[in-house]
Homo-oligomer: A and B are copies of this chain.
Amino acid sequence: MQGGSSGGQRSQRVTISDLARRLDISKASVSYALNGRSGVSEETRQRVLSLAAELGFHPNSAAVALSASRTRTIGIVIARDPALISTEAFYMRTLVGIEQYLNEVDSSLLLRLTGEQGQDLDVLRRWSRQGRVDGFILFDEHNDDPRIPLLKELGVPCVVVSSNAPDDGVGRLISSPEQTVRLLVGHLEELGHKEIAHVSGPFTFVHEQLRVKLLKEHAEARGIRVTHLEGNYQYADGAALTRKLLKSKKRPTALVLGNDLMAVAALRVAVELGTAVPDELSIIAWDDSPLCELALPGITAVDQQTMERGRMAADLLFRIAAGESGLHWETPSGVLRVRDSTAPA
Contacts and interface: CB of A to CB of B under 8 A. Distances in A.
A108 B124 CA distance: 12
Given A56-B129, A58-B129, A95-B111, 6 more contacts: A7-B69, A11-B154, A60-B131, A108-B110, A111-B111, A264-B294
A215 to B, nearest CB: 25
User: Size class of A's contact patch?
Assistant: 35 or more
8 nearest CB pairs, A to B: A62-B65, A58-B129, A10-B155, A99-B113, A62-B66, A61-B130, A86-B92, A86-B93
A131 B62 contact: yes
B86 A155 contact: no
Contacts of A96: 82, 85-86, 113
Given A125-B56, A129-B57, A109 B112 contact: yes
A115 B95 CA distance: 12
20 contacts: A10-B156, A13-B129, A13-B131, A58-B125, A58-B129, A60-B66, A60-B131, A61-B131, A62-B63, A62-B66, A73-B110, A82-B100, A85-B92, A86-B92, A91-B92, A103-B113, A103-B114, A235-B294, A271-B296, A290-B291
A104 B7 CA distance: 26
Interface in A72-104: 73, 82, 85-87, 89, 91-93, 95-96, 99-100, 102-103
Interface in A44-61: 56-61
Contacts of A155: 7, 9-11
Contacts of A132: 61, 108
A209 interface: no
Given A58-B130, A60-B131, A130-B60, A109 B108 contact: no
A65 B130 CA distance: 11
A268 B294 contact: yes
Contacts of A302: none
A307 interface: yes
A294 B294 CA distance: 10
Contacts of A92: 85-86, 91-92
A17 interface: no
B99 A108 contact: no
A99 B123 CA distance: 13
A232 interface: no
A340 to B, nearest CB: 13
Contact of A109 (B9, B110, B295): B110
Contacts of A69: 6-7
B112 A154 contact: no
